[in-house]
Structure 1
Amino acid sequence: MSCLTVSDPMLVCSCNYITDKDIKAVIHELLDEDCWQLIVPGKVYHAMGKRGRCCGCFPNVVDLIIKTTAEYHAARKTEETEVVNFMERLKQFHEEQKAALAERRQTMLAARRAG
């Protein structure tokens, strides 16, 4: 019996069977095209030819986008002030998306209870 290692891929999206390695690879490709573009889960999925189904994985995808983007810029020694400003905007977007998802879930639950 073997334990998972750091290099083992982690399943992020069970609907589309997408791993963290798949997502990181796409993020790197997108950053190579334009290192300052705003990368969101929809853009990552579109680049893979996939669509979000239940979208429950999107908060984890955003976390991967933030981490991978920070690592990308650190490896290229991008000026820190540029990275901080970009990362703050990305984190704000992430929080807005989490709040919107929570609101949609609450609306669905309320509709089910009423129905």
Structure 2
Amino acid sequence: MRMIVCSCNIISKQEIEEVIIELLQDDPWRLIVPGVVYHAMNARGKCCGCFPGVVDIIVATTQKFHEEQQTPSAEIICFMDKLKKHHDACETARMIARHRQLKTRKQA
């Protein structure tokens, strides 16, 4: 069964995983974010509601990729920590933007 992650672009989890693996094969330490994945698929985020799920897929796929490549655990942990910090910063920025948007609507 094909699990659709992005309903705006009709993109499946498997398609996202395949793109991530291709990107990692080109550069195993590249920081991959949803925009990079979508660009590689000639798509763009529309509502961006799927981005948190795409980040989860990126994290899991990246970790699995490095485990299969037998990358030393210390290197994987360091990289995953950097990825998590980036994700957390994006989530914080998104929450702040959402709060400002709601505040603006209430004032209007």
Offset of 1:70 from its aligned partner?
0.2
- CA–CA distance in structure 2, aligned partners of residues 98 and 109 of structure 1: 16
Q: Which amino acid aligns with 2:69?
A: R
Cα-Cα RMSD? 0.9
Deviations 1:75-108, CA, capped at 9 Å, x for gaps: 1111111100000000111111111111111112
- CA–CA distance in structure 2, aligned partners of residues 10 and 107 of structure 1: 33
- CA–CA distance in structure 2, aligned partners of residues 84 and 24 of structure 1: 20
- CA–CA distance in structure 1, aligned partners of residues 100 and 7 of structure 2: 24
1:39 is aligned to 2:32? yes
- Structure 1's unaligned 5+ residue stretches are 1-7
- Aligned residue pair count: 108
Higher helix share: 2
Match of 2:53 in 1: 60
Identity %: 47
Q: TM-score, normalised by structure 2?
A: 0.95
- CA–CA distance in structure 1, aligned partners of residues 53 and 46 of structure 2: 14
- CA–CA distance in structure 1, aligned partners of residues 98 and 62 of structure 2: 29
Following TM superposition, the consecutive aligned residue runs of length 4 or more in structure 1 with deviations greater than 6 angstroms are none
Match of 1:30 in 2: 23
- Structure 2's unaligned 5+ residue stretches are none
Match of 1:112 in 2: 105
Offset of 1:9 from its aligned partner?
2.3
What does 1:1-115 correspond to in 2, within 5 Å?
8-115=1-108
Secondary structure in structure 1 of the residue aligned to 2:78:
helix
Deviations 1:29-61, CA, capped at 9 Å, x for gaps: 000101111101110000000111111111111
Q: TM-score, normalised by structure 1?
A: 0.89
Secondary structure in structure 2 of the residue aligned to 1:24:
helix
